[in-house]
Amino acid sequence: MTEARLPKAFDLLLVWHGLFAGAYTIAYLTADGARGLHQFAGYTLLGLLTIRLLLAATVPERSPWSLPWPKAALWRSFGRKLGGGDLSALRGRTPLAPLSGLALLAMLTGVGLSGLAADWWEWEDLHEGLAEGSLTVVLVHVALVSLGPALRKLGEAQAGPRRTTAPRNA
């Protein structure tokens, strides 16, 4: 008999991510049509965003739910290497994907809040402009996350193989 296990924090974050991406997609695709569905998806997106930000404010820094703030040392090292033409900066963790995730959260906060305000005031133009701009931020985020493995391979090819053990003296 198998034992039931509680989902891990990272598993729950993946579920949140799927719901968030789905709500955004539905809201974006129904902008010119099904108003009720558009609003439902928008309110769902705002609710999911609120949950994410509240959890990020209360969990430890090492939790998957914390916001992925790139550290200053990571930026300095990354910029110094890339500025010198060293593509090994692309090997391992870079600050680009977390930065795009933070930009996406900020952009969609503006989209969601302007949509909420547009339900009571004449803010449709602001909401529509932010929503159209958000697609660019979404696509950049998807590209950075999707191309991450390819960029790492490019960095590894340029830097040469990593040594996993100390060289043997012959």
* Helix, strand, coil shares, percent, the chain, to 5: 70, 0, 30
Identify whether 168 is part of a domain: no
* Residues 82, 148 share a domain: yes
Q: How far is CA 81 from CA 87, 114, 160, in A?
A: 7, 40, 15
Give residues with Cβ within 8 angstroms of 100, minimum separation 6: 137, 140, 141, 144, 145
Which domain-ending residue is among 67, 83, 113? 67
Tens of pLDDT along the chain (170 residues)? 677 777 788 888 899 999 999 999 999 999 888 888 999 999 999 999 999 999 988 988 888 888 877 778 888 888 888 888 777 777 666 787 788 888 999 999 999 999 899 888 888 888 889 999 999 999 988 888 787 677 666 666 665 655 555 555 54
Identify whether 78 is part of a domain: yes
What is the pLDDT, as a whole number, of residue 10?
84
Which domain-ending residue is among 67, 87, 118? 67
* Residues 73, 125 share a domain: yes
Identify whether 169 is part of a domain: no
* Residues 134, 116 share a domain: yes
What is the pLDDT, as a whole number, of residue 8?
85
* Residues 81, 16 share a domain: no
* Residues 107, 36 share a domain: no
* Residues 113, 47 share a domain: no
User: Residue 26 belongs to what domain range?
Assistant: 8-67
What is the pLDDT, as a whole number, of residue 165?
55
For 103-158, give the DSSP string.
Answer: HHHHHHHHHHHHHHHHTTSS-HHHHHHHHHHHHHHHHHHHHHHHHHHHHHHHHHHH
Number of domains in the chain: 2
Q: Look-up: residue for tokens 């994410």?
A: 52
* Residues 59, 106 share a domain: no
Q: Of 38, 42, 62, 60, whose CA–CA distance to 50 is shortest?
A: 42
Identify whether 62 is part of a domain: yes
